[in-house]
Amino acid sequence: MYEKEEDKLNDYKKAYDDIPIPLDALDNAISSGYQQAKSTKQRPRKKKWIMSVAMVAIIIITFVTSIRVSPVFAQYVTEIPGMEKIVELIRDDKGMMSAFKNDYYQEIAVSKEKNGLEVVIDGAIADENGIVLFYTLNTDEKQKDISVEDTHLESSGGEILDLSSVSFGMPHNSEEGKKTYSGTIEYFFEKPFKSREFEINLKVTGDSVNEELSIPFKLKEDIREKKTYELNKDVTVERQKMTILDATVYPLRVAVHVKMDPNNTKEILAFEDMRLVDERGETWGKINGVVGSEIAENEQIIYLQSNYFHDPERLYLVFSRMQAIDKDKNKLVIDTEEDVILQQPNGNKLRDMEVNGNRVSLKLYTEKQFSYFIFGKMRDNTGYEATIKRSFSNGYRPDKGMAEIGFNMESSDQLKSPISIELEFFPNWITGDEKVRIK
């Protein structure tokens, strides 16, 4: 693809590879907190998925996008016809930008039209365990709001695709209305797939659009093999023991396999600032979307941006800040009949609970904004697992040091109080200064 541009791209690569990243500033910014996850529609399969709470945003954009993914390079690529929309979609993911820069994006360019809607599958970046598809929606009439509401991927050759997760981004919107929108759909699988021919089924809805389409497509380019580093390195942070088992590097992301000591007194909820750092200080941080998955009791995978196309002399896994709560108080237990919090992690940070029909509201008191949706699985006192239909937050109020948060439950009149809610995230931390050499 674009062979005549290769020399110029290499010149740009050399120019921005020599720019160092100030790690102290990066550490400080990451430690200051994360923004809420970009609104990803996520269908978990078989695993407990840890959703991105949007990768700090600003630090990744400032130090990774605007320095490492050089504006000069990005500007140059956007001048290649049709590529500007691809760059815009992935410019905050250093790994995918690197894949694109190294000619690992493959064009597909197939489409289907129906009743004033055209869906174009522009291209893909794929590895052994995942496919990221780039799409464009074209409509005859301007749409202020339009979105992919559902999607299903099938192998044309009959292979059963054992999906672990699929994400298809947030709704597209424009105040003035537009006829063209672009986005991505991410599929990840439990095991490597063999198919190269697929059919994607999509449901698209908008102001004047409500259509279902099926589009066949092929992956024509070779898929690169993963690189696995066996580590088995033991780490202790504030008396909590863990083992970094291995790190597997794919073109789309890096999977770090961590096992917790079952005798730990705390449950580790999230590694907030885990990243890869090479000998020159170049850094690959968390991805947006799914940042981790719990694969077994006391075992989880953390996903980082991929350094697949960068071969450093030395590479380290670095982290210092983890959300953690005591195992004997790792749930929120509430009495919905008396509007009382019966149990929560130490610190009394959740207060003033109110139940109004299916809606449960609380106030979360923190010194700084904590932009994570904290609620996980919910069960009533009979063991019935209920569904949290929607979590919400009304925003942080610095003057009062709190945010109003909550969720809507299904059929609250059928649930037997008290109700227990697992906590996916919580504003309580353990800290260290860990650096594990990978290569």
| Higher-scoring residue by pLDDT: 144, 7 | 144
- Characterize 100-109 residue by residue with b for buried, 16 or more Cβ atoms within 10 angstroms of its Cβ, and e for exposed: bbeebbbbbe
pLDDT of residue 397: 94
pLDDT of residue 84: 74
Report residue 27's pLDDT band, with 50, 70 and 90 as the boundaries: very low
pLDDT at 39 over 90: no
How far apart CA 28 and CA 63 sit, in angstroms, is 12
Scanning 80-203, the segments in alpha helix (DSSP H) are 84-90, 94-101
Beta strands per DSSP E along 285-382: 290-296, 299-304, 315-326, 331-335, 340-343, 350-356, 359-365, 375-379
pLDDT of residue 386: 86
Least Cα distance to 433 among 280, 264, 318, 274 occurs for 318
- Characterize 402-428 residue by residue with b for buried, 16 or more Cβ atoms within 10 angstroms of its Cβ, and e for exposed: bbbbbbebeebeebebbbbbebbbbbb
Span 361-386, average pLDDT: 92
Cβ–Cβ under 8 Å, residues 128 and 192: yes
How far apart CA 183 and CA 206 sit, in angstroms, is 15
Q: What is the pLDDT of residues 189-222, one digit of tens each?
A: 999 999 999 999 999 999 999 999 999 999 999 9
Q: What is the pLDDT of residues 57-112, one digit of tens each?
A: 322 222 333 333 445 445 445 445 556 777 777 778 899 999 989 999 999 999 99
The residue whose two tokens read 């995978």 is: 301
Residue 78 belongs to what H/E stretch?
helix 71-78
pLDDT of residue 83: 63
pLDDT of residue 67: 30
> Please, what sign has the CA dihedral across residues 119, 122, 126, 132?
negative
